[in-house]
Structure 1
Amino acid sequence: MAVSTRKPILISGAGLASLLLAQSLLRASIPFLIFERDSSFSFRAQGYRLRLSSEGLNAIESALEPEMWKRFWETCGKTGGEGFGTIDAKTGLRVPEPPDDNKNDKPKVPKETLTSRGGKIVGISRGEMRKLFASGCEPFIHWSHRVTSYELTPSGVHAVFADGSKSVEGEMLIGGEGIYSKVAKQVSQGKLKVYDTGARGIHGQAPTTAFKGLGEGVWRMVDDSNPKGRCSVITNVRSGDMDDPNVQFGWTMGAQPGVIKVPNDDGAMIGTPAAEIVKELTADWHPRLKPLFDEMDVSEAAFWKITCSTPAGVPEWPNEPRVTVIGDAAHSMTPAGGIGANTAVQDSALLGRLIAEAGGYSDGVTAAYEKQMRVYGSEAVGISYGLATVGFGISIDENSKTV
């Protein structure tokens, strides 16, 4: 059967998980269409870096064509140096890691594992990753199309957009549009929920020369002096670019509930308001760290809400053979441990492989995917939440506020 006569797989959202899934479909010559609410890739700040785990790298490698994988791997930064270290934000001194506590009277806090290949910490900016995953998919992306629901037909599914119009009929619909996914709410019959932890963060960037005082490594700067709660910044400093002022490194600030007050709680606000809050919070930090904030690119500063799925894990819902969800739409995570994106790409690789093996839509594909995804997805949510209870002082349950 000619590919052109087949109904496409419909994908909602053009984020990392959706685009990697599209790469799997492209590789298997299975037609697809992507619907993205933004008007272009440059619509929002994309600069912060993602740390890639062994599982994340394996998933990406399995989904991409060998030549594209080679390009991806060459684009990734590999950080060695002193590995992972914590710095006291006020003194600028490295804080010794606490010894392993084997006593049974304390809940176990998961350990963060950063190295993934060859003893190196592998990272890439979200924007670079998205650009690579989009390669070859551009003709199939429909911009400014926000999916608000779907309609099943006897032989397929339509995506329904915010203006009431509908997509062509597709074989399947995959919701990959993040924490506010309408597809997730509909397909799970409201069981998939994303909770607002109350903690907030700000992402920023600065020229690489501002990071020279830190040296190579993945660093967390912690300030416990604020009476409202802890504030910390994490960054990944790679050796290769440290002397080039035309290259920027990113950092991410996260704080306990009440420390970062976002004007009108508008998480979409970027630029000066976010930059001013960062500069105020870091005003008395050690001179070794100050250049990261004093020299920041104000236009790239952006707020974000720290959200999480229920710590109980990914819930069960009655399977719909033609509709499922991937990435943050299936399992929102805190930034603790950098686990979210690594789990999302595992979704893409798994679902892409199952669809490719079936040659497109098949009755059991989404059920098989969801069964496996719930296992590793629930484990990842648990680890992410466990790390965040310590790092961000959060506590949520089924009765907490949702987004």
Structure 2
Amino acid sequence: MVAQPQQKPILISGGGLSALLLARSLLRSNIPFLVFERDASISFRAQGYRLRLSNEGLDAVEAVLGPEGFAKFYDACGKTGGAGFAAVDPLTGENLGTEHSTVRREGLSSRDGKVIGIARGTMRSLFIEGCEEFVRWRHHVTGYELTDGGVRAIFADGSKSVEGSMLIGGEGIKSQVAKQLSGGKLKVYDLGARGIHGQASTTAFKALGEGVFRAVDETSHPEGRVFLITNVRAGDMDDPNVDFGWTIGGSAGVIKAPNDDYTIIGKQAADIARGLTKLWHPRVRSLIDNMRDDDAAFWKITCSSPDGVPEWPNEPRVTVIGDAVHAMTPAGGNGANTAMRDSALLGRLLAEAGGFKEGVTAEYEKVMRVYASEAVKKSFSTAEVSYSAVINESTATI
């Protein structure tokens, strides 16, 4: 019997949510793959705001993980009652209700009539299960080269990967694969707005009660507004060993990191958050005053063009997923859910094809452009209202 040639692996650039969920899909389909991630380990960037999962996001995760894997995933998610945001006046601590002008009119609940949320770090840990031996840490992908029969990833030190059958760029908003593939058409705009996210024990949240809360301070800062969003889950509220997360955002110019360094984590970020909220009522300020300093981190508010995902000449062996192709503001909670859809869609097409096949990336990009363009537009339009986001010819790109 003639031995069959060994199938070349699918190369995945980045170890974020969409990349790891795609890897998990390939694992279930017995398609060889390798993941290249610039960080030293999965715990290198543990900070991150909690993600709300839509029905579409949950359906995508379930399609990839299967019944058993999804049951474990869903069990790890927090479930909060209430269908939408409730407004709180941060200066008086007064409940303003769900119809107040500072509250976005959007349904938050998904399965079982609950708001489903999970920490980024928890998601990554669950998605990577079974894939660990195929992840190559400390490998920063800066581009790729096509070969006669495949593709190689190029790393920051000038070395190259083994030859793969395909390369999937999933390394986030600074993706060099996306830039090369699209000829610079894929751009991410820096909206100027900034945020800080952090965590505190449940005891700091008790005065709020259960729900998804939004507090907007329009008057304390001459540069613009500051807002806070948090999710308080009744099922965990009485366990002081559980932390709840919150995120603070500010319009452009309000939140400034030392030396404009937004990679800073820890006490410096925590102290700035406390300074921004020093005039707030104790009912709300308790979340910030009692934060765990080590968990505080900055984040930039960025977005792809609200005109939609652009067209570029299709390359059968290379495509992009997640924030690499459609970065979104946190407004509307669309980014991660859309990324999950990418992973499920591309994973399904690859499973049906048995791996690389002409036409797979073209079909994926055709379908993805429709739902991703809609999601980016929705996210940006919400950000226009929430923190006066603007994208025009003078808006900086990253």
TM-score range, shorter chain: over 0.9
Match of 2:316 in 1: 321
- Mapping of residues 135-214 of structure 1, within 5 Å: 135-214=129-208
Match of 1:396 in 2: 391
- Alignment-mate amino acid for residue 69 of structure 1: F
Change (3 A) 1:128 1:2: farther
- Alignment-mate amino acid for residue 218 of structure 2: D
CA shift for structure 1 position 353: 0.4
Unaligned ranges ≥5, structure 2: none
- Alignment-mate amino acid for residue 210 of structure 2: E
- Mapping of residues 24-39 of structure 1, within 5 Å: 24-39=25-40
CA shift for structure 1 position 2: 8.7
In 2, distance between residues paired with 1:111 and 1:34? 39
In 1, distance between residues paired with 2:304 and 2:397? 9
- Alignment-mate amino acid for residue 339 of structure 1: N
Match of 2:45 in 1: 44
Residue 259 of structure 1 aligns to a residue in which SS? Answer: coil
Moved over 3 A (4+): 1-4, 96-100
- Alignment-mate amino acid for residue 256 of structure 1: S
Residue 318 of structure 1 aligns to a residue in which SS? Answer: coil
CA shift for structure 1 position 97: 4.3
The alignment covers a number of residue pairs equal to 395
CA shift for structure 1 position 82: 7.3
- Mapping of residues 215-230 of structure 1, within 5 Å: 215-225=209-219, 226-230=221-225
Residue 184 of structure 1 aligns to a residue in which SS? Answer: helix
RMSD of aligned alpha carbons: 1.7
Contact 1:45–1:302 (8 Å) recurs in 2:
no
In 1, distance between residues paired with 2:148 and 2:100? 60
Change (3 A) 1:252 1:99: closer
- Mapping of residues 241-280 of structure 1, within 5 Å: 241-280=236-275
In 1, distance between residues paired with 2:199 and 2:48? 7
- Mapping of residues 2-401 of structure 1, within 5 Å: 5-81=6-82, 83-98=84-99, 111-225=105-219, 226-401=221-396
CA shift for structure 1 position 40: 0.5
CA shift for structure 1 position 46: 3.2
Contact 1:47–1:205 (8 Å) recurs in 2:
no
- Alignment-mate amino acid for residue 193 of structure 1: K
In 1, distance between residues paired with 2:135 and 2:380? 34
In 2, distance between residues paired with 1:293 and 1:3? 60
Residue 229 of structure 2 aligns to a residue in which SS? Answer: strand
Residue 315 of structure 1 aligns to a residue in which SS? Answer: coil
Change (3 A) 1:188 1:110: farther
In 1, distance between residues paired with 2:10 and 2:397? 30
TM-score, with normalisation over the residues of structure 2?
0.96
Contact 1:82–1:216 (8 Å) recurs in 2:
no
- Deviations for 1:211-266, whole angstroms, at most 9, x for unmatched residues? 10111111111111122111111111101111222111111111100100111221
- Deviations for 1:128-187, whole angstroms, at most 9, x for unmatched residues? 111000000100000000000000001100000000000000000000000000000000
Taking only the aligned residue pairs, the percentage that are identical comes to: 65
CA shift for structure 1 position 49: 1.1
Contact 2:87–2:100 (8 Å) recurs in 1:
no
Contact 1:40–1:143 (8 Å) recurs in 2:
yes
The more displaced of 185-194 and 387-396 is 387-396
CA shift for structure 1 position 189: 0.4
In 1, distance between residues paired with 2:321 and 2:51? 18
Contact 1:3–1:30 (8 Å) recurs in 2:
no
TM-score, with normalisation over the residues of structure 1?
0.95
- Deviations for 1:70-120, whole angstroms, at most 9, x for unmatched residues? 1001111111157520111111112244589xxxxxxxx984221111111
Contact 1:56–1:345 (8 Å) recurs in 2:
yes
- Deviations for 1:42-64, whole angstroms, at most 9, x for unmatched residues? 11133421000011001111111
Residue 75 of structure 2 aligns to a residue in which SS? Answer: helix
In 2, distance between residues paired with 1:172 and 1:44? 27
Contact 2:142–2:155 (8 Å) recurs in 1:
yes
CA shift for structure 1 position 208: 1.1
CA shift for structure 1 position 324: 0.5
Contact 1:50–1:338 (8 Å) recurs in 2:
yes
Residue 150 of structure 1 aligns to a residue in which SS? Answer: strand
Contact 2:85–2:98 (8 Å) recurs in 1:
no
Contact 1:179–1:332 (8 Å) recurs in 2:
yes
